[in-house]
Amino acid sequence: LTGRRSLMGYPGHVWSHGIDYFERESELKRIYSGAPDAASLLSKNGVEYVVVGPLEEAEMKKYRLALNRPFFERYTKVGEAGEYRLYKTRP
């Protein structure tokens, strides 16, 4: 995935560039929790690939939310290493 943009990295870095990350952070939480609008949020933000693993699960737990792994199984799994999965969200 070298050269691909990240939807959101470290919030402090995003904030230091003057970007309002609150909406983006909210959308990421909804995506990883598999909310009803998650698929449309992936499309809206032009997300082509999603990494799902322990780091994402830990981030969700900080917000007392569950990572919805079954939501991502609707997409093509293009990579796997240990507990990490990489899904392609666009054809």
Tens digit of each residue's pLDDT, the chain (91 residues): 566 778 777 777 877 888 778 888 999 999 999 999 999 999 999 999 999 999 999 999 999 999 999 999 999 999 999 999 999 999 8
pLDDT for residue 6: 80
The domain spans of the chain are 11-88
pLDDT for residue 54: 97
d(CA 85, CA 44): 22
pTM, full prediction: 0.86
pLDDT for residue 1: 59
- CA of 52: how far to CAs of 20, 59, 77, in Å? 24, 11, 10
pLDDT for residue 33: 97
